[in-house]
A and B are shown apart, each in its own frame.
Chain A
Amino acid sequence: MSSLPSIAVAPGVEISPATDDPLVARRAEVTRELLREGIRGLSPLERDALRLATRERLSVPDAAAQLGIEPNEVEANLRSGLLRLRQSLIEQLGESEL
């Protein structure tokens, strides 16, 4: 398990494990599995906004320029995307656990 392959968590979104620590890699792998299920439920705009913010690390104005929408739309989609991902994690892990 020293070299885990990249995993596509959404079309165009891949995650490469950055550690060889088996425990960390194992947890990251599970987290990717959970997030992949959650990301599937997002709207295309939510996915795009989150991808630009988390993977590309673009600021809101830069992400808005790239997506051709207003900055407040980027913010709204980042918020709704995170809320829906959280809900997805809750559903998978059990609300009582959270």
Chain B
Amino acid sequence: MTDREQATLPENDAESDERDDETAEQATVADELPVENGVAATGASAEADVSEPAPEPVAESESLAWAEATGAFVLGVLPADDAAAAAQEYAHSAALRAEVATLLPVADILLNLYQTQPAPAAGTAAALVATPAERAPSELTRRVETPRPQPGARPAMPTIGGLRPSSILIGVFALIAAIGVLWALSLNDRIATKNDEITALHRQVDQFRQAANASAFTLSPTSNGPEGARGTVFYSLADSRVIIDVSGLPELDQDRVYQVWFQRSGSNAWEPGPTFLVNQQGESVQRLPGETPTFARIAVSEEPAPGSSEPSGDFLLEGVLAGGNG
């Protein structure tokens, strides 16, 4: 670790002898990130000077102030002042930096899916930790400038020896973001691989329809079900895979899901199955447990999310399975 790093990391402050075990552990974790330290040193070289006073260690209560805000931070929805303060705190905590790095790829994927703006990749994440003046005018800037109400829930962040969120922070978070991007790219590759399975799932419906060794069970709408709704359970004898293909079900309000129910022969009890949602066309294809054909009846109801242990709503679709024939 360089002198510059020692001068800018609180774990290496002159008072480090007094740090507790947890802080020591964080410093150890930080030391185990050689690439990160390298980038931090590079970033620091632009502005931070070893002659600058080292930041004061963040008090325990204050160090927790932004721990819950990592999600909002990586999504870029913290107000500008809060984002800068959070960035300072994260720079002082290996654990929080690790969590930010953990959440970045997920936030990146979510934001990319919505296509409302570029994902918080390396450059954007660096912008997140920059001061408002350093931010490039962007959609990201616009949406985080709303002043935050001050209900008194947040302790004020300390002044850290006059040290502003400098390029060392940008370097640290640029690296975190870079790790996130690499993770995301790796994830995309795995997603592409996973796609084979997902695509096969959809294709299997057609394959099942044509397979000589496949059985199909029909679900029909009940008196409470939407007219035109239907469902088909396909069971492949070859590999014991079971799929339900439903259509004609309306999209649900928030906090509602469709749920599959099974009933055994000779029993009046309904056992809970998986939940699902439908697309805009009212369609869904879901896997069902391999034992599905052993049940006598199957039904679909609308339930409060994330699902129920017993039916609370009317059945919309019902059908007879193989277990009901023997």
Contact = CB atoms under 8 A, between A and B. Distances in A.
A59 B69 CA distance: 12
Interface string A1-37: 0000111111110111011000000111111111110
Contacts of B276: 40
B79 A11 contact: no
Interface in B215-258: 251-257
B267 to A, nearest CB: 27
B190 A97 contact: yes
B102 A78 contact: no
A34 to B, nearest CB: 7
Contacts of B278: 8
B24 interface: no
A47 B71 contact: no
A61 B147 contact: yes
Contact of A10 (B145, B146, B277): B277
Provide the main secondary structure of the chain A interface: helix
A82 B103 contact: yes
A54 to B, nearest CB: 5
Interface stretch (B51-59, B106-114, B204-212): B106-114
A11 B188 contact: no
Given A8-B280, A61-B146, A72-B154, A28 B71 contact: no
Given A15-B113, A35-B113, A57 B71 contact: no
Nearest to B255: A44
Nearest to A28: B113
Given A8-B278, A62-B146, A83 B103 contact: yes
Given A12-B253, A27-B191, A30-B191, A53 B153 contact: no
Contacts of A75: 68-69, 71-72, 78
B70 A79 contact: yes
Contacts of A27: 188, 191-192, 195
B279 A60 contact: no
Interface in B147-190: 147-149, 151, 153-154, 183, 187-188, 190
Given A12-B254, A70-B153, A59 B117 contact: no
B19 interface: no
A39 to B, nearest CB: 9
Contacts of B183: 98
B195 A85 contact: no
Nearest to B70: A79
Contacts of B154: 72
Contacts of A19: 115
19 contacts: A5-B281, A7-B280, A12-B254, A40-B257, A41-B306, A54-B107, A55-B116, A57-B117, A59-B145, A61-B149, A64-B149, A72-B153, A75-B69, A76-B68, A79-B69, A79-B71, A93-B187, A98-B183, A98-B187
Interface of B: 68-72, 74-75, 77-79, 82, 102-103, 105-107, 109-117, 139, 143-149, 151, 153-154, 183, 187-188, 190-192, 194-195, 198, 251-257, 275-281, 305-306
